[in-house]
Amino acid sequence: MLTYTLKRILQGIVTVWFIATATFVAMHAVPGDPLANQRATNEQIQRNLEQRYGLDRPVSEQYVVFLGGILRGDFGISFTQENRRVNDIIRENFPVSATLGILAVAFAALGGILFGALTALFRDRLPDLVIMFLVILAISVPSFVVAAFSQLALVDINVYLGFSLLPVAGWGTLRHMIVPSMVLGLGTMAYLTRLMRSSMLEITSSDFIRTARAKGLPPARIFLKHQLRNAVLPVVTVLGPAIAAITTGGFVVELVFAIPGLGRYFVEAVQQLDYTVIMGTTVFYGAFLVSMVIVVDLLYGWIDPRVRVE
């Protein structure tokens, strides 16, 4: 087990290195001057700026400098927020995103498993149909609309009550987190609900469940030990990358609820061609994703001994 984990971590490092290299190449291949601004600067100022960021050196040399930086755990200074190190940006904003993301994923996973199991039990009957309708609504309405309308509803509730039930926006306390995390987790919850329903149905009609019933096992035990445990595997598979994606992809929710998370940096850095932030966030995200995948793969074996990886 330990050897396997170590091997996976080694592979993960190689994967992240590939990700970093591909992103580095892509970033330099995209046209646009990272230092250009709306206001044209004269050549001298342009040269001064290039020197500051080391862009006057050949790209290969920049690559070596960048790799050296990663090894020392230093991503450099942001191009757009010239006073901040990329490390500081990640250190200050990631905990916010992570908190929001973990809540959202917890919400999505619990809701998804519960609703999925429920719809499978009530297959083709009213609860199934109602939940399916809600699921479709949740995935075919853009997340901005969901976020904006839930905020609007919150304002109306607060105004109606005459006091602040939950804050409309901002960050800092548990009360700030409830609505945004639900909005953020909604899409994933919808997906997990359907996934869970589907795999529950498959399991219900499989032989070992029939055997278990024939043996006269208590239904509750069949449900928990056999059905749920087997059906949850696809959910776990999706969950790994979903945690990484939700934690860093909260751009819209962060915007609407004024949350100081990391999500906006992923979008804005590319638009602004902020080299150091692009590289910092991508490498960080890559490492995060890879570790989530490793965790999920280890979980596999625990949930279902059949898929234990050697």
Partner 1 sequence: MSVAVRFSPADFEPVTARRQLQVSSRPSLSYWQDSWRRLKGSRRTFASLCAVMALGAMAVAGPWVWSVDPAAQDIDQISQAPAWPSSALIVPPYTPWAAVTATPTQAGDVVTNLRLAEPASTQAVRLVWEPVVGAAGYVVYRSVYDTAPDRALGLPIGEVLGADQASFEDRLDLEPRRYWYSVVVTDENRAEQSAYAALTVDTVRTVSAGDAELRGWVEDATVLAPGDQIDLPYHPLGTDYLGRDMLARLLYGARVSLFIGVVAPLLFVLVGVVWGSAAGFLGGRVDQLLMRVADFVIALPFLLFMILFKIAFGIGPGESGVFPMLVALVLLGWPSTARLVRGQILQVRQEGYVAASQLLGARTGYLVFRHMIPQTMGVILVTLTFAVPSAIFTEAFLSFIGMGVAPPTPSWGSMANEGIRTMLSHPHELLFPALIISATVLAFNLLGDGLRDALDVRMRGRE
Partner 2 sequence: MMVEQPPTYRDPMSRLAMRQLLWLGALSLVGFVALMGALAWASSITGGSAIAGRAIDVETGTITRALAQEPPQLDSTRATDQASIFILGHVMEGLLRYDASNRLVPGVAERWDIRPDGATFWLRDDARWSDGRPVTAHDFVFAWRTIVDPANAAEYAFILYYVKNGEAINRGELSPEALGATAVDDRTLEVEFERPVGFFDKLVAFAVYFPVREDFYRSRDGRYAADAEDLVYNGPFMMTRWVHGAHVRLEKNPLYWNRDAVRLNVIDMPYVTADTGAVVNLFKDGSIATATLGAEQLDDAMKLRWNLGRYSDGSVFYIDFNFRPERLTSNFHLRRALQLVNDSGELVNKVIGLPGYLPAVSLFPIWLNGVEGPFRQEYPPPVVIPDLELARTHLELAKQELGVAEIPPLVLLTGDAPIANKQAEYFQNLFDRALGLEIRIDKQIFKQRLDKMTSGDFDMVAAGWGPDFADPLTFGDLYASWNGNNRGKYNNPALDEQVRIAQNSLDPRTRMDAFGEIQRILIDDAVQLPNYERGLVYVEDPRLKGVVHRSVGTDPDYTTAYLVENP
Name residues contacting partner 1, limited to 198-257 (CB under 8 A).
198-199, 201-202, 205-206, 230, 233-234, 236-238, 241
- For position 18 contacting partner 1 by CB under 8 A, the verdict is yes
Q: Which entry of partner 2, partner 1, none binds 233, CB below 5 to 8 A by partner kind?
A: partner 1
Q: Which entry of partner 1, partner 2, none binds 174, CB below 5 to 8 A by partner kind?
A: partner 2
- The CB density around residue 197, as the number of other CB atoms within 10 Å, is 25
Q: Where are the alpha helices (DSSP H) in 205-228?
A: 207-215, 219-221
- The CB density around residue 243, as the number of other CB atoms within 10 Å, is 26
- For position 122 contacting partner 1 by CB under 8 A, the verdict is no
Among residues 129, 108, 107, which one has the least CA distance to residue 119?
129
Bridge partners of 85, per DSSP, are: 77
The pair of three-digit structure tokens given for residue 287, joined into one six-digit string: 């490492």
Nearer to partner 2 (CB atom), residue 64 or residue 165: 165
The answer to whether the CB of 193 falls within 8 A of the CB of 115 is yes
- For position 134 contacting partner 1 by CB under 8 A, the verdict is no
Q: Which entry of partner 1, partner 2, none binds 153, CB below 5 to 8 A by partner kind?
A: none
CB within 8 Å of 197: residues ≥ 6 apart: 115, 116, 117, 119, 120, 123, 128
Among 35, 118, 132, 217, binds partner 1 (CB under 8 A): 132
Among 191, 223, 257, 275, binds partner 1 (CB under 8 A): 191
The CA radius of gyration of the chain, in Å to the nearest whole number, is: 24
For residue 36, give the 3-state DSSP assignment: coil
Rounded least distance, CB 117 to partner 2, Å: 6
Q: Which entry of partner 1, partner 2, none binds 5, CB below 5 to 8 A by partner kind?
A: none
Among 148, 168, 169, 222, binds partner 1 (CB under 8 A): 148
Q: What CA dihedral angle connects 117, 123, 127 and 132, to 10 degrees?
A: 80
Among residues 155, 150, 163, 305, which one has the least CA distance to residue 233?
305
Contact residues: partner 1, CB under 8 A: 11-12, 14-16, 18-19, 22-23, 26-27, 29-31, 132-133, 135-137, 139-142, 144-145, 148, 152, 190-191, 194-195, 198-199, 201-202, 205-206, 230, 233-234, 236-238, 241, 266-267, 270-271, 278, 281-282, 285-286, 289-290, 293, 300, 304, 306-307, 309-310
